[in-house]
Amino acid sequence: MNGILSRHIKPYSLLSHHLYAKVYTGPICRLIKYRQPQNVSFRRMQSTKRVKLSPSPDVENLKVTDSAEPESVQEIPESTKESAKKESEVADAGTESVWKPLVWVDCEMTGLNVYEDNIIEICCLITDGNLNLIDDEGYESTIYVPKEKLDAMDEWCLEHHGSSGLIDKVLANKEKTIEVVQEELLQYLTKFMDPKKGILAGNTVHMDRFFMNREMPKVVEFLHYRIIDVSSVMEIGFRHNPNLMKKFPKKKGAHTARSDILESLNQLKWYRDNYFVQPIADESSQEEAPVEAPNDSEIKATIELSTVV
């Protein structure tokens, strides 16, 4: 052993001193510097339930040269406590409240080239497995790209994104970079579900996933690998039951991220109510009718019958 303590404490006594600090200070010994009292009797150690050691002959003469006074423990500010409490409540409530979550996403892009074009708007709404909206507000944001990139869009994008006001909103919010929006969306999702639980849903949503794989990989990694593509149901319906599909709700085609999601959600609700076979009741959950106990006359008749036989 090196240092000042080696001249006063033998190895066994040093172990006793360490255990004394652990027993009598508990978790506090991790927060403040513990000062060993002078001439501590090891008999106090024997009275505890947590430690049972034979007394060391040198404990009575134990001396500690370090006389540092205990440091005061600073209290956590109330604002910090409240903030942590709110975050914990939101996280706990969210992960428990959403049953089989569906993450509805729609992106507006500068084009359909998944290698060169970019997402300029994204909206996300969350429903449970019964297609009930969990949060009406959802998450929605534009994503900044330079004006030169917007000017290079094809005629269709220039017309629709210009008439909807999307181009102006993109240029007016330069702080909304793809990195910022990805982190915001990821934080929003974690309020309502655990990783690998939410299934991506929407119309032709595989295209949105292609772009997100390149520009928002953290969000894609957070979600389940499966998707629910409403347009797949539509294509099956046109081939399997075309007469019924003449009545399905058509999309208005506003080509804003939020409106596209709501239209896709309403379409899936229509398919569920009009096209899909309705759920079958769980036979195992049906309780059997209670068996009534026989009355006295029935018991008497049974006895008489058995006697005759």
Q: Which domains does the chain have, with CATH numbers?
A: 1-71 (no CATH), 87-274 (3.30.420.10)
Amino acid found at 153: M
**Which residue stretches of the chain are H helix?**
11-25, 43-46, 78-97, 147-151, 155-163, 166-172, 178-190, 205-215, 217-222, 230-240, 242-245, 257-274, 296-308
Can you tell me the distance from the alpha carbon of 28 to that of 34, in angstroms, rounded to the nearest whole number? 9
12, 139, 188, 225: the catalytic one is 225
pLDDT in tens, 44-82: 444 444 444 445 445 445 444 444 444 444 556 665 555
Q: Which two tokens stand for residue 126?
A: 């969350």
Give the phi and the psi of residue 9 in degrees, each rounded to 5.
-125, 125
pLDDT in tens, 129-167: 999 999 999 999 999 999 999 999 999 999 999 999 999
* Residue 225 among the catalytic residues: yes
pLDDT in tens, 207-255: 999 999 999 999 999 999 999 999 999 999 999 999 999 998 887 766 7
